[in-house]
C-alpha cells in the first residue's frame, strides 16, 4: 500500500471518528446524563462518560465527518479551530471541556499530517508522470 493510500485510509478513519462521535452523542446510553443534553451552552451530557457534548457539538462533529470524506485538510483545520475555541473558553456555547479540547487537537494535528503525506505523494506522482 502506498504512502498516499495509507494516508487516505487513515483520513477515512478520522472521518469515521467524527461521524461516530456525532451519532453516539445523540444516543442515550452512549451519552451519560442524556437528560441534561442541551442544544447549546453548558451541558452535563457526556459521550462515553468522558467528552462533554451538546446537540450543536454533535451536529458539528457530523459536519466534520462528512467534510473529512472530501477534504482531510479542511477537517483538520476545523478540528484545530474547535480546539482553539475550547482553549480560549470561547466554545462555551458548544459545551467544550478539556477532554474535548485534547481530542480535537490530536485529531486536527493527525489529520493535518495525513493531508500533508497524501499531498506530497500526489505531487511526487504528478512530477513523474
Q: DSSP characters for the chain?
A: --HHHHHHHHHHHHHHHHHHHHHHTTSBTTEETGGG--SSS----EETTTEE--HHHHHHHHHHHHHHHH-HHHHHHHHHHHHHHHHTTTTGGGT--HHHHHHHHHHHHHHHHHHHHHHHHHHHHHHH-
Q: What is the pLDDT of residue 22?
A: 94
pLDDT tens digits for 20-69?
Answer: 999 999 999 999 999 889 988 778 899 999 998 999 999 999 998 898 88
Amino acid at each position: 500500500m502506498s504512502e498516499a493510500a495509507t494516508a487516505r485510509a487513515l483520513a477515512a478513519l478520522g472521518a469515521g471518528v467524527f461521524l461516530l462521535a456525532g451519532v453516539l452523542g445523540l444516543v442515550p446510553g452512549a451519552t451519560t446524563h442524556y437528560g441534561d443534553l442541551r442544544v447549546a451552552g453548558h451541558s452535563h451530557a457526556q459521550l462515553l462518560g468522558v467528552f462533554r457534548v451538546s446537540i450543536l457539538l454533535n451536529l458539528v462533529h457530523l459536519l466534520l465527518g462528512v467534510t473529512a470524506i472530501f477534504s482531510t485538510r479542511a477537517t483538520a483545520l476545523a478540528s484545530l479551530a474547535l480546539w482553539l475555541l475550547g482553549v480560549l473558553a470561547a466554545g462555551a456555547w458548544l459545551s467544550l471541556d478539556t477532554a474535548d479540547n485534547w481530542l480535537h487537537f490530536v485529531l486536527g494535528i493527525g489529520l493535518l499530517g495525513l493531508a500533508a503525506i497524501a499531498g506530497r505523494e500526489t505531487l511526487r506522482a504528478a512530477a513523474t508522470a
